[in-house]
């Protein structure tokens, strides 16, 4: 009798397979993102492979333009996005403070160290894009510390993005001034040493690669990739540590498909989703995912402490202080 019961149970299992709740999620989903187009399409393709019943479309632009579009929609009372995937956590903290975001309480974040995601689970880091030092290989001074950029050898030879024009640069500035012993005196010394605070990361890389400048502050992946292609540059993770933007993802409170939106977040912070970030050439936020070629071991990269909520509160004062020093 027992064997008949087992056979019957197996037959029922074959006839009525368990429903995968993840695959069962369906409907439309609209993503607003600042990812490069190729990365955004790869992310969507990988997600759809797991959730074929979700029809997902995306709008892509830089974070400031994405936010301008979203704010215009807020004003009109008709936000179109369900999910937001943008450059920095400070912008997400602003939206959280305005009560624009939906918490995803059941998101699985146990594998991550504290401080990576919003503790209240309103936004979640998907990458760690750090800012360190790039230098031209013909430079005599090979920097290992942020303070090296204030030395006479770097006089008039440093370029960096301005935090007045870049959210990532603002996060970097707030992180350094909050972490280095001298605080804002570091930036005062840079100004006295002839540092140029202007241009985007791509322009910084061009200046250093051509020798127009010998040193730069820049996001990690750009010089590491260009070095692999033969550019005469080296990237340094300074010994004091680096700042990082985390390209966080969040669900808007006005989403029309909360379950699909949660599935998208779950995919991005899963091990599989984080390995996609690695394939795209970024440092995944997940501590168990390897780093791309050209990077040191994860344990050799020291992240400086960063509090997104405090940074949001400190930004106006930081903007004013930086302007007073450099303009």
pLDDT at residue 298 greater than cutoff 60: yes
19-127+246-295 and 130-244+303-326 have identical folds: yes
Q: What is the DSSP letter of 70?
A: H
The answer for residues whose C-beta is within 8 angstroms of residue 225's C-beta and 6 or more apart is 281, 294
pLDDT at residue 47 greater than cutoff 60: yes
* 19-127+246-295 is classed CATH 3.40.190.10: yes
How many Å apart are CA 249 and CA 192, to the nearest integer?
39
How many Å apart are CA 209 and CA 233, to the nearest integer?
6
Give the pLDDT confidence score for residue 14 in this predicted structure. Answer: 37
pTM of the model: 0.87
| Residue 152, CA distances (Å) to 77, 140, 293, 326 in order | 55, 11, 33, 19
Between residues 64 and 1, the one the model is more confident about: 64
Give the pLDDT confidence score for residue 5 in this predicted structure. Answer: 36
Decide: residue 164, CB within 10 A, 0-12 exposed, 13-18 middle, 19+ buried: middle
pLDDT at residue 249 greater than cutoff 80: yes
Q: Which fold has domain 130-244+303-326?
A: D-Maltodextrin-Binding Protein; domain 2 (3.40.190)
pLDDT at residue 323 greater than cutoff 60: yes
Residue keyed to tokens 């024009």: 165
pLDDT tens-digit series, residues 145-198: 999 999 999 999 999 999 998 889 999 999 999 999 999 999 999 999 999 999
**DSSP per-residue string spanning 254-281:** T-S-HHHHHHHHHHHHSHHHHHHHHHTT
Q: Where do the structural domains in the chain lie, given as residue ranges?
A: 19-127+246-295, 130-244+303-326
């Amino acid at each position: 009798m027992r064997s008949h019961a087992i056979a019957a149970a197996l037959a029922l299992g074959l006839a009525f397979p368990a429903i995968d709740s993840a695959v069962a999620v369906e409907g439309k989903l609209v993503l607003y993102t600042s990812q490069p187009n190729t990365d955004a399409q790869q992310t969507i393709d990988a997600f759809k492979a797991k959730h074929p019943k979700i029809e997902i479309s995306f709008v892509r632009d830089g974070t400031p333009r994405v936010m301008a579009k979203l704010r215009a929609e807020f004003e009109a009372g008709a936000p179109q996005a369900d999910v937001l995937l943008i450059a920095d956590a400070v912008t997400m903290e602003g939206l959280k403070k305005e009560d624009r975001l939906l918490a995803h309480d059941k998101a699985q974040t146990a594998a991550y160290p504290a401080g990576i995601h919003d503790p209240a689970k309103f936004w979640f880091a998907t990458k760690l894009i750090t800012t360190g030092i790039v230098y031209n290989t013909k430079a005599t001074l090979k920097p290992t510390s942020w303070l090296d950029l204030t030395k006479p050898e770097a006089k008039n030879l440093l370029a960096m993005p301005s935090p007045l024009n870049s959210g990532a640069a603002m996060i970097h500035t707030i992180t350094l001034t909050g972490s280095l012993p001298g605080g804002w005196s570091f930036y005062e010394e840079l100004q006295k040493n002839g540092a140029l605070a202007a241009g985007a990361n791509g322009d910084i890389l061009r200046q250093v690669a051509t020798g127009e400048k010998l040193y730069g502050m820049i996001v990690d992946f750009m010089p590491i990739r260009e070095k692999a292609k033969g550019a005469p540059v080296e990237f340094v993770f300074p010994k004091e540590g680096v700042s990082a933007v985390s390209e966080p993802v969040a669900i808007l409170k006005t989403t029309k498909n909360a379950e699909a939106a949660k599935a998208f977040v779950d995919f991005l912070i899963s091990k599989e989703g984080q390995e996609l970030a690695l394939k795209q050439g970024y440092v995944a936020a997940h501590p168990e995912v390897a780093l791309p070629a050209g990077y040191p071991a994860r344990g050799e990269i020291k992240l400086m402490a960063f509090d997104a909520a405090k940074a949001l509160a400190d930004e106006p004062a930081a903007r004013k202080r930086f302007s007073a020093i450099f303009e």
